[in-house]
Amino acid sequence: MTEETYIPDWMREKPLEPVHCDSTRCNEGLHSFLKSFRGKRNTGNLSYRNGVCIGCGADLIDWNRLDNRNLDDVEYTVDALKKELIRRRYWARRIDENLLQPVAKMGLVKLREKAEIQIQKHVNKPYEQYTMWDKMQTPWEGNFIAYAQHATATCCKRCIEEWHGIPRNSLLDEEQIKYCVGLIMYYVETRLKSPEPEIIPNH
């Protein structure tokens, strides 16, 4: 059978449809594992990690393995992240030239420093101090580090709790910050090698 290619929506010449952390396309293998409190406030100690897909109930992630937060096992972590729709969009989208040029000038050492500042400044406070604006501190567009944060679920306290098992009301310690920055840099280095959008084989 002749192989065809499926063009994802992020390659099409139209605005990207809105996607949220709890958006799903389960029939395409794109899920969400973020417990949704949309319309009601999570005032208790309930984790934002749902465990199974909130849309179809698929049990696809070895959360105990992820909770080791082992950068030597980063390929499994990334494969798991890509099962979530919002993460896959950032792993698969085009990285435009206007984002690549500043990175090339800055270099990876400076970029790592910038990523650590971003984590320290914007996601390293107890969740209760910024409940109303958590998830708004990382822009959706126009920033390579922000793309990396959304792709690796290091963008806000809720996503860090969901994916990396770090309670949202605790401060990140030195090892946890190093882990988050390591994930960001893995995304950066991967996408610098392959900035074009993903083309998915469809047999």
* For residue 24, pLDDT beyond 90: yes
| pLDDT of 197 | 87
- Supply the pTM of this predicted model: 0.87
CA distance 122 to 80: 25
Q: Residue 14: CB partners within 8 Å, gap ≥ 6? A: none
- What number of other Cβ atoms are within 10 A of residue 182's Cβ? 18
Least confident of 73-77, 121-125, 169-173, 176-180: 121-125
Q: Is residue 139 a part of any domain in this protein?
A: yes
Q: Is residue 127 included in any domain, yes or no?
A: yes
Percent of the chain with pLDDT over 70: 83
Answer with the residue of higher pLDDT: 203 or 27. Answer: 27
- Calculate the CA dihedral of residues 112, 87, 45, 65 and round it to 10 degrees: -80
Structure confidence by residue, pLDDT tens digits, 58-91 = 999 999 999 999 999 999 999 999 999 999 999 9
> In angstroms, rounded to a whole number, what is the distance separating the alpha carbons of residues 24 and 117?
31
Nearest to 162 by CA among 91, 84, 88, 56: 84
> Comparing 12 with 62, which gets the higher pLDDT?
62
Flag whether 135 is in a domain.
Answer: yes
Q: Is residue 202 part of a domain?
A: no
Q: Could you tell me if 88 and 60 are in contact, meaning their C-beta atoms sit under 8 angstroms apart?
A: no
Domain-embedded: residue 201: no
- Separation of alpha carbons 141 and 16, rounded Å: 11
Torsion (CA) 116, 117, 120, 121 in degrees, nearest 10: -150
pLDDT at 189 over 80: yes
Q: How confident is the model at residue 39, as a pLDDT?
A: 66
Banded pLDDT at 29 (limits 50, 70, 90): very high
CB 24 within 8 A of CB 36: no
Domain contains 199: no
Q: Which residues contact 104 (CB under 8 A, 6 or more apart)?
A: none
**pLDDT tens-place string over residues 91-102:** 999 998 888 888
Residues 6+ apart with CB under 8 A from 137: 122, 123, 130, 155, 156
Answer whether residue 200 is part of any domain.
no
What pLDDT, on the 0 to 100 scale, is given for residue 6?
55
Judge whether residue 129 has pLDDT over 90. Answer: no
Rounded Cα distance, 179 and 181, in Å: 5
pLDDT(42) > 90: no
Total number of domains constituting the chain: 1
Residue 155 domain-assigned (yes or no): yes
Higher pLDDT, 79 or 11: 79
State which residues form the domain around 180: 4-194
